[in-house]
Amino acid sequence: MQITQKGQITIPVEIRERYGFLPNTSVEFEEENNKVYIVKSQISLAKENPFDYVRGKASSGLSTDEIMKLTRSDDSSDD
């Protein structure tokens, strides 16, 4: 991984998902024993919606139409 000329890096998706680094998450850098850690700032934790982390994560492998078909009752046999 390289730092861009603007000083930017891309946090791998696995790390973002595991630790909840969502878009607009405020972060801070902490130094310890000659290492740098990236952590969520306390401001970010206070404002974060607990459902944002899981929103859009479910994956059934089915299309929306297939899910809708499963959730609807088959009323055509009642005629």
Residue type, 57: K
| Inter-residue contact 60 to 48 (CB < 8 Å) | no
- Which residues, other chains included, contact 52 with Cβ-Cβ below 8 Å and sequence gap of 6+? 22
Q: Percentage of the chain surpassing pLDDT 70?
A: 75
Domain 1-55 sits in CATH at 2.10.260
Please provide the average confidence, as pLDDT, over all residues in the chain. 80
- The pLDDT of residue 48 is 64
- The pLDDT of residue 14 is 92
What is the tens place of the pLDDT at every residue in 25-50? 888 899 999 999 998 887 655 456 76
- The pLDDT of residue 37 is 92
pTM of the model: 0.46
What residue ranges do the domains of the chain occupy?
A: 1-55
Q: Give the Cα separation of 77 and 66 in Å (integer).
A: 19
| Inter-residue contact 22 to 48 (CB < 8 Å) | yes
| Inter-residue contact 15 to 2 (CB < 8 Å) | no
